[in-house]
Structure 1
Amino acid sequence: MKLFITDIDDTLSIGEAVADEVREACSRLRSAGWEIMVATGRTYSTARGHMEAIGVTRPSILYNGGRIVDPVGRPLYSRLMEENLANRILEYVWTLPLELQVSGDERISCRETDTQTRSFFANLGPIRLVTEPVVTEPVFRICLWMESRLMPEVEKDLRERFGREAEICPGGPQFMDIQPLGVSKGSALDRLLAELPTRPEVIVAAGDHCNDRELLRRADVAASPSNAHEALLREADLIIPPVSEHGIRALIDHILSPAFATAPFAAPGRRL
């Protein structure tokens, strides 16, 4: 078995449409005997279109590792945030100059003033508006959206206050993810691999930001777009074109080439 895993946002696609070139490349990859899965911070309802577009064949990772679902969306594993911790985090960030996005069981909660969150999910899934920093439903992760200049200070404060109880990880240039301790795309992949009779012959993973780091570290071949976070670029085996130039297609072209067949792990930092 050979396994290909990709992040969605800014790796597989920009927004909701997967390019035809990428769809076709994934079809060729499946025909060559590869298994495909996604690893994303999204809910199933917002990831479903992408999963169908590339034809996932294996369980996929949602909520940045908080949930694993089979190819048709049936939950196989879930890890929720402890309610008291979620309430304390919400209380702390409630008055900060940022937007909230609380991921529940296939439902997003936010405030009336969280316009970016409301705009993104307007046509993608149900939104529950909240008026006080108290959770009333299960929570997989709390995501914060803010001006990029605020990210370092907010991350530092969150780590000082909650770093022993939760994972604090930038999920994009303006996104900060907060999840239960030990939850990551990498730990979710560990769980999936532990259930297989043998480890895949080769694992190729692609991602663009810090919340992909643990996933890529577990892959035999780690690929990142050329505009990815610098931490990933320093560790990537392959640097692929940005998503606007269909980097996943370039990666798959390489995977299916004779060069990859003869030396899949060679030349760290190689640009495709």
Structure 2
Amino acid sequence: MIKVAFFDIDGTLLDHSGERSVFPKSTKAALAALQRKGIKVFISTGRSPAMLGSVGRDLPAVRDLFPFDGFCTFNGQLVLERDGSVIHRLAHDPQEVLRFITLAKQHGLKCFVLEEELSFPITDCPEIRQHYEWMGVPCPPFYDSSRLTEHPVIQFNIFLPLEKGMKILAPLEHIEITSSGFDVLDIIPNGGGKETGLSAVAKHYGILQEETIAFGDGLNDVGMLRWAGVGVAMGNALDEVKKEADYVTTPVSDDGVKNALVGLGVLDEGDFCLES
């Protein structure tokens, strides 16, 4: 019996394939049906908590799309209940942060560091400025490493293809590299990943691993799809992701979330109430 469901955002809950971003009515109805059955609904994303305040196109803030029970953010490194209570936190080692900054400056990487609440660029570039413009906030000053004593760094983001990023960052021994696509790399602490967030949520609520289900479409979703009792890849997922899933559903644009939950027997048609 499933007791908690985890969902990636872009390409899983939200359809960005057209001119406008869409949160399908069938998906919203499915999430509501899960909660009515007592199943907790968590987001599991590479985004920071600050980025849950923006979708980027045509939709309200992610937090306002649905009354989620909680959020696994930073690829599982910071897990929050809906009220902001911290379930789990995993930060980069301060010395590894300093080594990363040195490499970033040496190679002129287009990147920024993310603390729990704030983020700062290390170098200047159009991509960095566009990122903050997309978030609707001014681009902050360059990162000051003196902040490390009081503000742990949870994640780095780099605008770089994966293969090149792995080569440049090879000297760093305590990191993992993941990505949701678009040549944007998420650099997380060694031992991290969305699966660590899922595990923390399950432990917090006394839920067994086999009582979890997770939905995703990107490379940074692979770990959680492997870990979850049932891992569901969206029909629009990368082929590498589909190979790791227990179940492949239809695309997000074709009622993928609803179809999987019904097909797997987690919900049935009678559980749904489509509302505007």
TM-score when normalising by structure 1: 0.80
Q: Are residues 1:53 and 2:54 paired?
A: no
8 Å Cα contact 1:108/1:127 also seen in 2: no
Aligned residues: 252
Q: Are residues 1:121 and 2:135 paired?
A: no
Q: Could you tell me which residue of structure 1 aligns to residue 9 of structure 2?
A: 8
* CA drift at 1:191: 2.2
Q: Could you tell me which residue of structure 2 aligns to residue 270 of structure 1?
A: none
SS at match of 2:214: strand
Q: Could you tell me which residue of structure 1 aligns to residue 259 of structure 2?
A: 250
8 Å Cα contact 1:107/1:127 also seen in 2: no
8 Å Cα contact 2:210/2:229 also seen in 1: no
* CA drift at 1:41: 1.3
Separation of aligned partners in 2, 1:6 and 1:76: 17
Percent identity among equivalent residues? 21
Separation of aligned partners in 1, 2:75 and 2:199: 13
Separation of aligned partners in 1, 2:178 and 2:83: 28
1:119-198 alignment, distance < 5 Å: 119-122=130-133, 124=135, 126=137, 129-131=140-142, 134=145, 136=147, 137-146=151-160, 150-158=161-169, 160-162=170-172, 164-198=173-207
Instruction: Select which of 36, 39, 50 maps to 2:44.
Output: 39
Q: Could you tell me which residue of structure 1 aligns to residue 57 of structure 2?
A: none
SS at match of 2:135: coil
Q: Could you tell me which residue of structure 2 aligns to residue 263 of structure 1?
A: none
* CA drift at 1:134: 4.1
Cα distance change of structure 1 residues 139 and 247 upon mapping to structure 2, 3 Å threshold: same
Amino acid paired to 1:72? D
SS at match of 2:9: coil
Instruction: Select which of 238, 245, 249 maps to 1:236.
Output: 245
TM-score when normalising by structure 2: 0.79
Separation of aligned partners in 1, 2:45 and 2:105: 25
More moved, 238-247 vs 172-181: 238-247
Amino acid paired to 2:243? R
SS at match of 1:72: coil
8 Å Cα contact 2:210/2:230 also seen in 1: no
SS at match of 1:106: coil
Q: Could you tell me which residue of structure 2 aligns to residue 28 of structure 1?
A: 33
* CA drift at 1:201: 6.2
More moved, 125-134 vs 108-117: 125-134
Instruction: Select which of 10, 23, 27 maps to 1:18.
Output: 23
Deviations along 1:231-265, whole A, 9 cap, x unmatched?
Answer: 2211112212333434223333433138xxxxxxx
Separation of aligned partners in 1, 2:234 and 2:138: 31
Separation of aligned partners in 2, 1:66 and 1:125: 24
Separation of aligned partners in 2, 1:128 and 1:196: 38
8 Å Cα contact 2:76/2:197 also seen in 1: yes
Separation of aligned partners in 1, 2:142 and 2:262: 49
Separation of aligned partners in 2, 1:196 and 1:110: 36
Separation of aligned partners in 2, 1:113 and 1:31: 47
Cα distance change of structure 1 residues 77 and 235 upon mapping to structure 2, 3 Å threshold: closer
* CA drift at 1:53: 2.0
8 Å Cα contact 2:75/2:220 also seen in 1: yes
* CA drift at 1:190: 1.7
Structure 2 unaligned spans of 5+:
54-60, 270-276
Cα distance change of structure 1 residues 194 and 180 upon mapping to structure 2, 3 Å threshold: same
